[in-house]
């Protein structure tokens, strides 16, 4: 049984999306995955040190922050560096700061070698990419140095960034502007942390082949957006313009509220004849002018007692312009006990037979 429950929501005024100088770019809502604007979003390109977003995630999944790691000579790679010295010992957490703030290629190699060996670590990076649905991505090293078979696309990197920012330790480090590691004072290469309202990360990159690459995250009024530009000489200005557009043109609307009662369902064999059904979780979605979110309920024709509070018995379907956006479980807002069976006169007089 399906019934419509919700009509139109108020939306922000529409405005034109900005153009960028990037070969490929995307602006995405982190919560829902909705693409707000973009160009060449699935074009496979070199991504330089934005690779280190995945390096940090795999390190957090395979190592412990307190691990003691010894630096080896072969960890000291070309390019950006946190200036490690062979023989010194740092914790994995300190290396992660060196990885994400000054974008240390030496930190990337040291982390990968410690966690599982570089070759196996890179395999884990690709396994994680596959698990996240990054179908246009392949990693060949943990640093992002130019290599055959090392590429991604704007859409995949936005999905990776949205996932990464839900990891508390990653989010904390990526938002850090400066950090002391021993005698070193590390500065974050992401200057938008200091100049853009609501910016909370994420990662810069550059190689001759990739050009300037940048993945950032910005949050205002509870809405978290991700911007990615690949091969973009004007990346700082372009990211700022993308966020100004995104936050002005779209509003984060709650289509479904957790715990809110939406409908009644009939109950058979219970101490009451119906039960209130409520949303098991909330669902938010970014909308712009003229867009309408619709919610419909799908539930059985009849429920049978006993029923427990919080028991899933149906679902709410959120859609827009005929496209399904999400399914949210409908749960019993209260318990319903089974009614005691009424005995016949014969059973009351002579008891059960058989």
Residue 49 annotated among the catalytic residues of the structure:
yes
Cα dist. 60→55, 144, 204 in Å? 9, 18, 20
Options 49, 80, 143, 152, the catalytic residue: 49
Q: Decide if 91 contacts 118 (C-beta within 8 A).
A: no
- For 148, the token pair is 């055959």
Q: Decide if 223 contacts 31 (C-beta within 8 A).
A: yes
**CA separation for the pair 170, 309 (Å, rounded):** 36
Strand partners, 214: 204, 229
Express the helix, strand and coil content of the chain in percent, nearest 5 each: 25, 35, 40
Residue 103 annotated among the catalytic residues of the structure:
yes
Q: Decide if 22 contacts 231 (C-beta within 8 A).
A: yes
- For 96, the token pair is 């992660």
Backbone φ, ψ for residue 262 (5° rounding):
-110, -30
Q: Decide if 70 contacts 87 (C-beta within 8 A).
A: yes
Q: Where are the beta strands (DSSP E) in 182-311?
A: 184-187, 199-207, 211-220, 223-230, 251-256, 261-268, 274-279, 283-287, 294-298, 303-304
Strands 199-207 and 251-256: unpaired
Options 4, 32, 39, 52, the catalytic residue: 52
Options 80, 103, 143, 152, the catalytic residue: 103
H/E element holding 346?
helix 345-350
| Residues involved in catalysis | 49, 52, 103
């Amino acid at each position: 049984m399906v019934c419509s429950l919700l009509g139109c929501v108020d939306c922000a005024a529409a405005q034109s999306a900005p153009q960028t100088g990037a070969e490929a770019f995307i602006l995405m809502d982190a919560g829902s995955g909705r693409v707000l604007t973009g160009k060449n979003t699935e074009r496979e390109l070199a991504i330089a040190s934005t690779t280190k977003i995945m390096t940090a995630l795999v390190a957090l999944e395979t190592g412990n922050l307190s691990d003691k790691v010894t630096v080896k000579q072969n960890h000291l790679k070309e390019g950006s560096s946190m200036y490690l010295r062979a023989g010194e010992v740092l914790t994995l957490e300190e290396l992660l700061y060196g990885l994400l703030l000054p974008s240390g290629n030496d930190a990337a190699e040291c982390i990968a070698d410690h966690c599982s060996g570089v070759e196996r670590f890179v395999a884990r990076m690709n396994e994680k990419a596959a698990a996240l649905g990054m179908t246009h991505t392949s990693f060949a090293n943990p640093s992002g140095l130019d290599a055959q078979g090392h590429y991604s696309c704007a859409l995949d990197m936005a999905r990776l960034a949205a996932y990464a920012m839900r990891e508390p330790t990653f989010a904390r480090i990526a938002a850090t502007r400066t950090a002391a590691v021993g005698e070193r004072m590390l500065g974050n290469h992401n200057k938008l942390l200091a100049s853009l309202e609501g910016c909370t990360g994420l990662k810069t990159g550059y190689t001759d082949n990739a050009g300037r690459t940048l993945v950032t995250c910005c949050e205002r009024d509870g809405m978290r957006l991700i911007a990615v530009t690949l091969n973009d000489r004007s990346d700082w200005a372009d990211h700022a313009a993308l966020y100004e557009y995104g936050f002005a043109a779209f509003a984060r609307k709650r289509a479904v509220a957790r715990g809110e009662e939406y409908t009644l369902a009939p109950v058979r064999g219970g101490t009451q004849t119906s039960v209130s059904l409520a949303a098991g979780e909330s669902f938010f979605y970014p909308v712009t002018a003229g867009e309408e979110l619709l919610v419909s309920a799908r539930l059985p024709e009849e429920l049978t007692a006993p029923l427990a509070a919080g028991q899933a018995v149906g679902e709410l379907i959120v859609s827009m312009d005929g496209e399904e956006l999400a399914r949210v479980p409908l749960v019993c807002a209260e318990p319903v006990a089974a009614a005691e069976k009424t005995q016949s006169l014969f059973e009351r007089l002579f008891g059960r037979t058989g």
